[in-house]
Amino acid sequence: GTPIFFIRDALLFPSFILSQKRNPQTHMKDPDMVWDFWSLRPESLHQVSFLFSDRGLPDGYRHMNGYGSHTFKLVNADGERVYCKFHYKTDQGIKNLSVEEADRLASTNPDYAIGDLFNAIANGNYPSWTFYIQVMTFEQAEKFQFNPFDLTKVWSHKEYPLIPVGKMVLNRNPVNYIAEVEQK
């Protein structure tokens, strides 16, 4: 997961998806379509930089962070409201693949990440992520230097520190993937 996305304007989402599709004439992957879309939208640079850095090749799901990406509104029992962002930080540590290893796995074991996660859980090596939130009051949002709902930007950890909330531990594999995951 990444904490950001390529676009801030939801109306561009269909165009973004189309840029990832195969060329309509040749039905071949077309990097020109992808790069044309990204290069014409400067807000994409943050996500493209993340994606093409080492963090874009995680060594399986256990070694990557997860993010809610969007800004959410939380309301407590007293009706007090705040905005927040969700962060799931891997307790296994960030670990990335080399380009060579990623290429090899893509051609020989495209389900590597799924198998790694399944086998770790089956062997009792339960992966976990510490769950954090960042909180921004409505008053802070009014004065914020950019739109706090802008999906192409992150909130400063210095100004809005990560607050630990709990842990997510994957301690069992599904017995029936369709019934327990797909249909839930």
Q: What is the pLDDT of residues 4-32, one digit of tens each?
A: 999 999 999 999 999 999 999 999 999 99
Q: How far apart are the first and last CA of the chain?
A: 22
Q: DSSP letter at 155?
A: -
pLDDT over 70 percentage in the chain? 100
Query: Is the whole-model pTM more than 0.85?
Result: yes
Question: What local confidence, expressed as pLDDT, does residue 1 receive?
Answer: 87
Q: Which CATH class is domain 1-52?
A: mainly alpha
pLDDT of the residue at 102: 96
The domain 59-182 is classified under which CATH number: 2.40.180.10, 3.40.50.150, 2.40.40.20, 1.10.3720.10? 2.40.180.10
Mean pLDDT on 93-120: 97
| Pair of tokens at residue 31 | 């990097």
Q: How far is CA 79 from its chain centroid?
A: 30
Query: Does position 184 have pLDDT exceeding 80, yes or no?
Result: no
List, in sequence order, every beta strand (DSSP E) within the chain: 66-67, 72-75, 81-90, 128-137, 163-169
57 and 96 in contact (C-beta within 8 Å)? yes
Q: Strand 81-90 to strand 66-67: parallel, antiparallel, or no bridges (unpaired)?
A: antiparallel
Tell me what the mean pLDDT of segment 87-111 comes to. 97
Beta strands in 59-162 (DSSP E): 66-67, 72-75, 81-90, 128-137
What pLDDT, in 10s, does the model give residues 47-78? Answer: 999 999 989 999 999 999 999 999 999 999 99
Residue range 27-39, pLDDT digits in tens: 999 999 999 999 9
- d(CA 20, CA 31) in angstroms, rounded, equals 8
131 pLDDT band (50/70/90 cuts)?
very high
Domain ranges of the chain: 1-52, 59-182
